[in-house]
Amino acid sequence: MENDYVFDLLHKAVDQGHKLGADFVEARYDDLTLTTINYTNEKVRESSTKQRRGIGVMTYVKGSPGYSFTPDITSEAIQETTKRSLGIAKATEPLLTFKHIYDDRSSIKDSIVKKVKIHPKEVEFDEKLDMLKRGIANAKDQVDAQSTTGMWGELWGDKLFVNSEQSEIYWTPLLFDLRIMAVAMTETSQARGSDGVGQSQGMEYFDIEAHSPETLGTNAGKWCKEQIDAVSAPPGKHRALVGPRMAGVLAHESFGHLSETDFVITGMSPISDRVGEQLGTEHATIIDEGITKEGGFFLPYDDQGTKTGKTVLMDKGMLLGYLHDRSTANKMNTEPTGNSRAITFMFPSIPRMKNTYFKPGNISFDEAVEQVGDGLYTAGTSGGQTDLDGTFLFKCSRGYLIENGEITKPIKDAALSGQILEFIQQISGVTNEMDIFTSYFGGCGKGGQYPLPVGLGGPSLVVDEVLVGGE
């Protein structure tokens, strides 16, 4: 659809909202295309394309927000949607004590198109399938795999935004994700290994050997093979070297979510009212950023039309701030941080993360292993979970014992758990590497909105004590 036509429809929604009594209106349009290929056991199990196109309208009445949405891009449907949004905003107003009030801001007119050499949409299906086949072939060179899976996912399209300030913002989301997985059988169990990359980049990214399908496949096969003879992680408290992937998950799942101001402003987060306090060691610096040099998800604007920037949440252990939308920033007398995000037009935007990571330090990886001495190296993760009290559990899908300052035997799946505010007091060293990634298969989940593309990562962290679960 032409941008001018869509902007016109969005302006009409804003105007109608005001006529019906709204104090402020935001109207959004998404037109996203998602493509998935699942190549399991060398057969195409899924080949699909999805079009997510629709409009969402958020209205505010005396500070009370109401949201509605429609996939019908017509004036009539948008009028009805605006009316529905206003209806629920008005009805819930008596329940409110927290008013969503914005400060006055200038109108923004901006258009940001992510530039890449080869856009995924220009590459044919066969070429993408061939990447999966090459990855799988390399995995099978490494291990006698009982089962293999290659997955390709891409998301791209247009996002348009208009609000009562007459802002008009257009930008183009883009991400791809390629994964190779292998499963092998032993007499008593099954072992698996996987590797993948997810970035907001063009297809030229795969020309670099470290990211090529061949390298990913080789890693998946190699890591699967070493799991066959892996030893169980000894349960109990250990020193650990937490690799970039798990460090990213920790920064995101445990600390990042606690920093989201919908939790903070109600006092539900354990780090509410603690700005200025020394919560972690001098090695703990945590950042949330819209566009990073190192990669991750490209996010120039959030879904309230706020330009994203770099938000330092924790600097050398001291809590500096939180992740805001416009209303929480106004309430807490600070600047919005561009963290109001929605997964699709079907959902209202809520405080969510951008690209969240630990800042690198100054020791090398080898020095970090030596510093751990005896403990665990957690290199890969299959994700984690956290509770609002700060309790976390993260699964280590690839890990190794560290003995006498050297990485030795691979360990079976182990779960690291603890309390994030205690964890960041245990960080005693940070490496000088940096790896940030995003994902199409998976992402952030909150309030029923899953999977939202986010970026996460960082360096490796030396941790003096973490609880490992296992038999």
Give the footprint of another protein on residues 440-469 (CB under 8 A): 447-448, 467-469
Order of strands across the sheet with 286-289?
318-319, 310-315, 286-289, 355-358, 455-458, 435-438
| Rounded CA separation 167/170 (Å) | 10
State the alpha helices, DSSP H only, in 93-158.
125-142
Q: Contact region for another protein (CB under 8 A) — 239-247, 341-349, 432-440, 454-462?
A: 341-349
Least CB distance to another protein at residue 92 (A):
5
Binding residue for another protein, selected from 1, 125, 273, 276, defined by CB under 8 A: 125
For position 46 contacting another protein by CB under 8 A, the verdict is yes
Contacts with another protein: how many residues (CB under 8 A)? 86
Under rule CB under 8 A, which residues in 279-338 are in contact with another protein? none
Q: Contact region for another protein (CB under 8 A) — 8-16, 50-58, 218-226, 398-406?
A: 50-58
Long-range residue pairs from 269-274, CB within 8 A, at least 24 positions apart, any chain:
269/388, 270/388, 270/389, 270/390, 270/421, 271/319, 271/322, 271/421, 274/319
For position 8 contacting another protein by CB under 8 A, the verdict is no
Q: Tell which residue, 242, 288, 257, 280, has the closest CA to residue 392.
A: 257
- Please, which residue, 45 or 105, has the CB nearer to another protein? 45
CA distances in angstroms from 156 to 115, 186, 339, 453, listed in the order given: 12, 41, 20, 12
Can you say how many angstroms the Cα of residue 348 is from the centroid of all Cα atoms in its chain?
Answer: 18
Q: Is 267 helix (H, G, I), strand (E, B) or coil?
A: coil
**Residue found under tokens 């990214």:** 205
Binding residue for another protein, selected from 126, 187, 210, 293, defined by CB under 8 A: 126
Q: Contact region for another protein (CB under 8 A) — 1-9, 81-89, 360-368, 402-410?
A: 81-89
Least CB distance to another protein at residue 366 (A):
29
Q: What is the DSSP letter of 346?
A: T
* Sequence letter at residue 139: A
For position 423 contacting another protein by CB under 8 A, the verdict is no
Sign, CA torsion 88/90/94/99: positive
**324 token code pair:** 């805001």
User: How crowded is residue 41: how many other Cβ atoms within 10 Å of its Cβ?
Assistant: 12
Strands (DSSP E) along 62-167, which ranges?
64-70, 109-112, 147-163
Binding residue for another protein, selected from 26, 158, 214, 262, defined by CB under 8 A: 262
Binding residue for another protein, selected from 159, 192, 252, 324, defined by CB under 8 A: 192
Q: Contact region for another protein (CB under 8 A) — 20-28, 123-131, 158-166, 196-204?
A: 123-131
- Please, which residue, 221 or 270, has the CB nearer to another protein? 270
Least CB distance to another protein at residue 228 (A):
12
For position 346 contacting another protein by CB under 8 A, the verdict is yes
Least CB distance to another protein at residue 301 (A):
21
Binding residue for another protein, selected from 16, 79, 85, 219, defined by CB under 8 A: 85
- Please, which residue, 192 or 359, has the CB nearer to another protein? 192
For position 2 contacting another protein by CB under 8 A, the verdict is no
Q: What is the DSSP letter of 95?
A: G
Binding residue for another protein, selected from 7, 24, 60, 67, defined by CB under 8 A: 67
- Please, which residue, 113 or 388, has the CB nearer to another protein? 388
* Sequence letter at residue 164: S
Binding residue for another protein, selected from 54, 213, 443, 457, defined by CB under 8 A: 54
For position 253 contacting another protein by CB under 8 A, the verdict is no
Least CB distance to another protein at residue 340 (A):
12
- Please, which residue, 146 or 432, has the CB nearer to another protein? 146
Which residues is 27 bridged to in the sheet? 57, 162
